[in-house]
Structures are given as C-alpha cells and as structure tokens.
C-alpha cells in the first residue's frame, strides 16, 4: 500500500491523476494506491501536509487490504508510523519498521524543524513506534548504534543494508547514440545522478567546476529536487559552462546513463548525522564499474576506502573535490582499476538479491512468532 507516485518532482505522475484510489499489479505484486497532497520538497510545512494526507488516506484501505501476517513500513516519513500503529492494532499484525533516516533528528540537524514542542512531539512518536515494533531495521552500523544508544533494545535492531540489482546494473560499453542525444560526446563525464535536495549539498559541485582547469572534464547533474532550480540559476548567472543539467531519468535508463560516465560523484552536506549514511546511489555507480569521487565522511568514506573504488574528499570542500576529479581524469588506468574493484565489492557485499533474502527471512520469522 502506497501513495500515487510523485517523487522526486512532487507532481503526481501521468496515469494517476484526478482520482482518489486505485489498485494495480506490478511484477505480480498487488499494489494499492491512495491520493496524497503532492508538493515539491520546497517547504517543511508542505511536506508535513504531504505526509499527513497519506496517513489519513491510507487508513481507507483497511478493509481492502484484507488479512495481514506482518507489516513492513518505510520511514521517513515518520508520521506514517501513526497509520502503522492503527493497522497493527486493527489487523492484529506485528510490524517491522525500516528506518532509512532517523527522524526527527535529521530534520533538526538540517534546520527544517526548530519548534521545541514539535521536536518533542515527534520524538515521543518515534520512541513509541520503536517500542511497538517487532523489529527495527537500519541500513548502516552507525545508525544501529545511534538507536541502541537511545535505549532501543539491541534484540530489536537488525542491520539491513541498501543494495543494488547487480544483474540490471553491469559494466557496458557506452551507448554513443545516447551520449550524442544528451550532448555528452567528447567529454570525461563526472556524473551526479540523484536527488537535488536539502541533504546533498550539490553547490560544492558547481564550486569545484569553477576551479576545474581540465577542459575535457564535464560535470553532469541528473535528477530533480528542491535545490535544482537554484543550482541551474547559479550555473547560468555565474557562467559555469562545464556543468550540464539533465532531467530525472527513467529507472530503466539509469544503467545506460551511468555507463556513459567516466566517474561518479557522491555528495552529502558536512553534517554529523551523515557520518552514518551510505547513499544508495553509490552502489549503482559501483555496480557498473564506475570509480567514485566521494564527498563523504564517516561510513560512506570508509566504504570507498575499503573497496578501493575511488577518491574521498571532505564534504563541502570544493578545492578537494576539484583536485580529486582532475587526478582521476589524468589517470584513466587508475580510474578503470578503481571501477573494477567497486564492481567486485558491491557484488559481494551489497547484492540486492542477497539482501532481499535476508528481509524475507526476517519477515517470515516475525510472522511465525505471531502465530
């Protein structure tokens, strides 16, 4: 059960508009959808309306859903926990709460949530959900330790990393027709592909581009998000000509797009909360054999170093980012070797099929204990 698709633009996709409810099948899976107040990620109040609207409309699916053995819930958004508690009680089913980002802590550190009353209210909801959950899954060891330090019982906490479909994302020769269509021929493309939002700190890429002297290097940012308009405006007003912006690409096109790039760029803002983050997009780049320039610290930086799949820079440091980009651009053999190591590492440690099996086993275990 989910909302009408509207990510990342905040606009409900074609085929889902002007309706309240629908049901479809995707890859043999029954998907129940409900209306949501869709809005770009441009203001915290509008995001709250977006989340709360889905909490309300999701409850209209209670009868339609039918019997339930176990509930698996994705957070953020944290308010979905309100609907989860209702479903769990009314369906008499246990739930597993998947925390990909710790809220409200992230909202506070990003400066999105400042009201002490709202913070306290959100923290009370957060801890109540953890207490009621049968298991709490997290994507990184650092996040697991954070929750354990807040007295979430360790026996509830389960490490469930992000991963990538290594069958769909493989090293392939560049599609020259696609490169020509996108205007990327004749360049060493350093690609950021993902959300242009509050967390990524993509301004550092524009600043690095201004410092870059290698005329072969082209920075490409593909995707959408709250910060994209400001980034495009800055590049235009400051005459940053070695940066190209692409719209959000269909998921089916992503392997081909990634294979056009000489290297990938991964970036997060220099905030303590991101020391325990592993951006999922890095695994897709690694899977296609793409070396990384990782503007990360903490667990993300440690992974790139351990895999030997790229160069690490301080997040938010444009001079270091430019230096790493030009170093990779000047040494194609080193870049290729890093790409090969990344592919090997992600296939061994972050293969989505293996991760899905672990999730299946966890859900089956929780469902068995219910009986």
Domains of the chain and any CATH numbers: 2-164+352-370 (3.40.50.2000), 176-349 (3.40.50.2000)
What does 152-199 look like in DSSP terms, one character per residue?
--GGGEEE----B-TTTS------HHHHHHHT-TTSEEEEEES--STT
- Kindly report the average pLDDT of the chain as a whole number: 94
Task: Give the confidence band of 60 by pLDDT, cuts at 50, 70, 90.
Answer: very high
Span 311-320, average pLDDT: 98
CA 267, 213, 305: angle at the middle one, nearest 5? 35
> Per-residue pLDDT for 41 more than 70?
no
Nearest to 121 by CA among 135, 111, 107: 107
pLDDT of residue 297: 93
The backbone torsions φ and ψ at residue 351, rounded to the nearest 5 degrees and listed phi first, read -75, 120
Give the Cα separation of 30 and 176 in Å (integer): 38
* CB 270 within 8 Å of CB 314: yes
Average the pLDDT over 52-79 and give the result: 94
| pLDDT for the residue 7 | 80
Contact status, residue 23 vs residue 11, Cβ threshold 8 Å: no
Structure tokens at 296: 């990360």
| CA 357 to chain CA centroid, nearest Å | 21
The pLDDT > 70 percentage for the chain reads 99
Rounded CA separation 256/175 (Å): 7
Q: Who has greater pLDDT, 8 or 312?
A: 312
Q: Extract the tokens encoding 115.
A: 């009201």
Beta bridge partners of 191: 220, 264
CA 272-155-105 angle, to 5 degrees, is 25
Residue 75, phi then psi, degrees to nearest 5: -135, 140
- Residue 42, pLDDT score: 62
Q: What is the rounded CA–CA span in Å between residue 259 and residue 173? A: 7
pLDDT at 25 over 80: yes
- The rounded radius of gyration (Å) of the Cα atoms in the chain is 21
Least confident piece of the model among 43-47, 81-85, 157-161, 238-242: 43-47
pLDDT digits (tens, 9 = 90+) for 106-151: 888 888 888 899 999 999 999 999 999 999 999 999 999 999 999 9
Read off the pLDDT band of 9 (50, 70, 90): confident
Is residue 5 helix, strand or coil?
A: coil
pLDDT over threshold 80, residue 67: yes
**pLDDT at residue 198 in the model:** 83
Rounded distance, CA 155 to CA 366, Å? 13
What is the percent of the chain with per-residue pLDDT over 90, rounded to a whole number? 83
DSSP state of 247: P
């Amino acid at each position: 059960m989910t909302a009408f698709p509207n990510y990342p633009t905040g606009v409900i996709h074609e085929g889902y508009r002007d309706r309240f409810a629908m049901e479809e099948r995707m890859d043999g899976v029954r998907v129940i959808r409900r209306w949501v107040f869709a809005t770009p990620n441009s203001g915290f109040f509008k995001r709250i309306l977006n989340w709360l609207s889905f909490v309300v409309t999701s409850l209209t699916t209670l009868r339609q859903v039918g019997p339930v053995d176990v509930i698996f819930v994705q957070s953020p958004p944290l308010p979905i926990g309100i609907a989860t508690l209702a479903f769990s009680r009314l369906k008499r089913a246990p739930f597993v709460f998947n925390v990909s980002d710790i809220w409200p802590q992230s909202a506070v550190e990003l400066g999105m949530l400042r009201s002490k009353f709202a913070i306290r209210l959100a923290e009370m909801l957060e801890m109540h959900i953890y207490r009621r959950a049968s298991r709490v899954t997290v994507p990184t060891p650092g996040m697991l330790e954070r929750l354990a330090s807040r007295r979430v019982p360790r026996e509830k906490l389960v490490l469930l990393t992000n991963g990538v479909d290594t069958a769909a994302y493989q090293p392939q020769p560049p599609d020259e027709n696609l490169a020509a269509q996108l205007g990327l021929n004749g360049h060493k493309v350093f690609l950021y592909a993902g959300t242009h939002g509050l967390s990524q700190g993509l301004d550092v890429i524009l600043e690095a581009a201004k410092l870059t002297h290698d005329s072969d290097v082209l920075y490409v940012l593909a995707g959408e998000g709250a910060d994209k308009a400001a980034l495009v405006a800055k590049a235009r007003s400051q005459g940053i000509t070695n940066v190209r912006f692409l719209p959000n690409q269909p998921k089916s096109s992503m392997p081909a797009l990634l294979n056009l790039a000489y290297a990938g760029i991964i970036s997060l803002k220099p905030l303590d909360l991101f020391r325990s983050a592993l951006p999922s997009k890095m695994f897709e780049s690694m899977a296609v054999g793409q070396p990384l320039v990782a503007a990360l610290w903490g667990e993300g930086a440690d992974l790139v170093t351990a895999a030997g799949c790229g160069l690490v820079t301080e997040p938010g440091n444009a001079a270091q980012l430019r230096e790493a980009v030009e170093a990779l651009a000047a040494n194609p053999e080193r870049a290729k070797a890093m790409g090969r190591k990344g592919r090997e590492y992600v296939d061994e440690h972050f293969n989505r099929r293996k991760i899905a099996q672990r999730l299946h086993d966890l859900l089956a275990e929780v469902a068995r204990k219910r009986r």
